[in-house]
Structure 1
């Protein structure tokens, strides 16, 4: 039965699940239907950072292990960008005829294991584990059991499953949970399958390879006797059986061969210090027993060393896949480390395509952490290679990435130029995924310049493509951006609806930085609705996530939103402190767009505090910064607010030019809301000096805008306008 196709490349034949992992048995359509197994994390665990990190750690272990005949071979790690999915691609062990699957468990159940076969399987397991611990010092499998040893028709035993931990299920996981790990962090978690866990594992003590040797002794006993060494009616009985040394007594009573009995007993000693010190020590003893029983030497531990260019190439792309995967989780340090490893291998074997991809990934990391000049240099370098290779898809993406950097830096004009170049190239080459990305980016650029209708149009075009392509991560981003536009135009219901769609997709796909962004957006909706406790709760969650993944961008945004709430609660001291922290982060990241927005917020807060003289320098700084980056919307707002401050101080000589400048910019970008507020202030000024005709003209325009955007000031402004008109003899 066929289930689906993964990335239009792997035809799925069967699906296996366990714990937090899922394995697809597939045919690789690009390699003449070559059988492979694709291992990944279950979708419901994508939102769990611990689960994702453990899976990525497992992927790294597979790549480090390389090629050995007694370890299931991982060909590569693949990352599929449209859905932000990561897979470990391993060899597919065929099921021998007459068995239900290829696990050693099936061989034991069917009673196929004669003495020579048991000895051959055992020495192969020893060889695999000896090699693994040589490749990765301090490696502890932690879940060595018959289910995790695969044996195909060729009767070669292969150790598998070096990775997905089940510690999240509780202190003592039950059988069947995928629960392995690389132990060098001294976390002391109890991880494994109960029937094969060493006493020190059960006590959550530090582990080394002797813990796996204990499990091997239990497996060897089970292969010889056909029965488990450890039994019990419940978890507590099983645990006591391990701690009381039951395996030791059973081995001495039930194994006929004295030499094998002694070997098993040394493996399953309750105290680790009494066991074989490592796999090499065990191998030496086992070789002697093998020769004594069978009268011949055991197979040598021979394995090829893969120094081929293809092997290095696959390792490089695997490192790159890990780098991009860590970028998704917000772990920029690990992302950079793996991307750098990929770059080094690419340059070592002179592979321009891999080099361009690695440099581009380093550019994305630099952009994310605010090192914009480095990001631009990386993308430019990558684009030069793309052009030489006629790699139009990568070229289009990198043009879009360039635009993204300029946009983050507040250079909207340059950003839009690059988005447009990318969009044109994508359309000419039929690259729908790239088209969707650049349509979304164009929407962002128009939104930041106040052209909200164009922004909505671009977002909706992108959303149609993304729905058709089932690209949930990018779809989440576009729903979030669309929600922001609705917030700006006062459509709170549509804003909340789109934010919730975005959040659901971000959680489902485990994209932590995106969750921070959306939570901030939802908090802003709650603020606009006057639901401050709800907004505070949402922002607390956002700050927690930002701190967890080291996302300074998200933290900056959350602090600015918290400052707004503090101001609305009249806790001005706390508000200023939050704004200052946010401004410090924005300065550190050199994000002029955020700096301008925070300066605007500080100015508005000073007005609320009644500190009008302190508001003036904040707005002046905002005007200078926003003008520098051509952020016309923020510049118009700052001029308008500065004009209001001067008007409140009765300094109309300064107020009117500021208000007129605000209206001028707002007209250029179509920001009616800003024009309306500035127009109202000018109308009030004309009323004060007795020019009621001019006052009515400006106030009437402002009231129309207030009504259009459902501004809470509408009713009061409309009443005041009526009074002014009545004073001039107008009949309402």
Structure 2
């Protein structure tokens, strides 16, 4: 018997046992244990053919009639595969309630070969709805089922770790998000299906490393898999690696290389009408030109990114563009334009509830006010940013704000100055990455 045949036979035995209301123990005796019955139902390959034949006889089944039963069961499985395809499509078009309703209507128990898929799609729906606890429960069920099931060809386990990492990322727990993503990479089966999951795991890992300020590590990963990205069939995923590569090169000070990769990515994105990626790549191109003080090209790049506003699926991108334009103009002493764009960045981030970028934009606006001698306004913006950094547990930005507040109070209020210095050091505020460039790189 092949592994696939064993799997099909096991599913038939499981279904018939359930239909007759029998427990595993009801089929066990001195010749066959409940564990062996369970292994047969799950298609475990090391069970002897004699045990399978014995169990079939106990159920009044034989190998002659089994092909017809297996064929009927295969038809049922085919229908469920189709239902799951419909459910996945409903999730992608944001019909989450209808998708969950259809999943529940399938009524698959945990031993069904597609039970993991059903829980996975339910978890995806809950992630899209921002219901983290329900999503975690569904995905942890997938992990439990996947670890018990002998078939890993669908990469359900790796896919679930991918989503669990995203859930933690959305809750600003980047370190744990990284752990779950690494779990997904370890669980990934190279010769299995859903090969794109590996690249999504690497993409997310690099994104988390970027936000954690670990650019060298992220750059090594991107460079290690760079020769493989041409095999990625999803163009938006492929382009995300162009953006990450250019971003890590820019952060690492390799601006000429970043400019080359960004331009290459822009050509690919332009040919495929990928406007989100175009925005990301023009933005990092603007960042690289800003770093090399090629002001005119930096402004042009960021202005082109700004022109893509009405073509974007994700409004968060525009907050980044506005903030980078504001910081560019600040470095050029064009303070009125800087204030305009930084104020727009604050309003845009606040409007969509993008708290990490709202925090960054407020800090930059505070920097501008401090630079233009509007210290009271600077303190106001810094205190707003500090409240957000504390609320959303962002210690690096909290350190940066304490440092900035200390500058504001120096020579004005000695007690406040000393308190800020103390808080800055408590939160490891002497981190050399606190500066302006580090802050804008984390957007």
Relative to the length of structure 2, the TM-score reads 0.69
Following superposition, the deviation at residue 710 of structure 1 comes to 4.6
Work out whether 1:648 is the aligned partner of 2:371: yes
Following superposition, the deviation at residue 404 of structure 1 comes to 5.7
List gaps (5 residues or longer) in structure 1: 10-27, 33-309, 318-350, 365-374, 407-413, 715-732
Following superposition, the deviation at residue 444 of structure 1 comes to 3.0
CA contact (8 A) 1:542 1:558 kept: yes
Following superposition, the deviation at residue 403 of structure 1 comes to 5.0
Following superposition, the deviation at residue 707 of structure 1 comes to 4.3
Relative to the length of structure 1, the TM-score reads 0.44
Distance 1:467 1:508 in 2: 17
Work out whether 1:389 is the aligned partner of 2:117: no
Distance 1:578 1:611 in 2: 17
Work out whether 1:441 is the aligned partner of 2:163: yes
Residue of structure 2 aligned with 1:361, choices 89, 96, 103: 89
Q: Partner of 2:135 in structure 1? A: 419
Following superposition, the deviation at residue 615 of structure 1 comes to 2.6
Residues 70-469 of structure 1 mapped to structure 2, 5 A cutoff:
354=82, 357-358=85-86, 360-361=88-89, 364=92, 375-377=93-95, 379-390=96-107, 392-402=115-125, 405=128, 414=130, 416-417=132-133, 419-427=135-143, 429-430=145-146, 433-466=155-188
Following superposition, the deviation at residue 386 of structure 1 comes to 2.3
Distance 1:590 1:511 in 2: 17
Q: Partner of 1:688 in structure 2? A: 411
Residue of structure 2 aligned with 1:603, choices 319, 326, 333: 326
CA contact (8 A) 2:120 2:139 kept: no
Distance 2:190 2:80 in 1: 33
Compared CA separation, residues 698 and 453, structure 1 to 2 (3 A): same
Q: Partner of 2:28 in structure 1? A: none
Distance 1:630 1:528 in 2: 26
Following superposition, the deviation at residue 517 of structure 1 comes to 0.8
* C-alpha RMSD over aligned residues: 3.5
Following superposition, the deviation at residue 529 of structure 1 comes to 1.5
Work out whether 1:536 is the aligned partner of 2:259: yes
* Larger helix fraction of residues: 2
1:702-729 deviation line (CA, Å, top 9, x unaligned) = 4674544655689xxxxxxxxxxxxxxx
Work out whether 1:594 is the aligned partner of 2:310: no
Following superposition, the deviation at residue 502 of structure 1 comes to 4.5
Distance 2:102 2:169 in 1: 33
CA contact (8 A) 1:639 1:659 kept: yes
User: Which protein has greater RCO, CA pairs closer than 8 Å, 6+ apart?
Assistant: 1
Distance 2:302 2:332 in 1: 14
1:201-223 deviation line (CA, Å, top 9, x unaligned) = xxxxxxxxxxxxxxxxxxxxxxx
Work out whether 1:506 is the aligned partner of 2:229: yes
Compared CA separation, residues 616 and 382, structure 1 to 2 (3 A): same
CA contact (8 A) 1:423 1:434 kept: no
* Larger strand fraction of residues: 1
Q: Partner of 1:698 in structure 2? A: 420
CA contact (8 A) 2:390 2:398 kept: yes
CA contact (8 A) 1:506 1:512 kept: no
CA contact (8 A) 1:353 1:389 kept: no
Distance 1:30 1:444 in 2: 33
Compared CA separation, residues 473 and 682, structure 1 to 2 (3 A): same
Q: Partner of 2:61 in structure 1? A: none
List gaps (5 residues or longer) in structure 2: 10-70, 109-114, 438-443
Compared CA separation, residues 450 and 31, structure 1 to 2 (3 A): closer
Residue of structure 2 aligned with 1:559, choices 272, 275, 282: 282
Distance 2:301 2:140 in 1: 42
Q: Partner of 1:727 in structure 2? A: none
- Aligned pair count reads 357
Distance 1:589 1:399 in 2: 27
CA contact (8 A) 2:396 2:434 kept: no
Distance 2:126 2:286 in 1: 30
3-state SS of 1:639 partner = helix
Task: State which structure, 1 or 2, has the greater radius of gyration over its C-alpha atoms.
Answer: 1
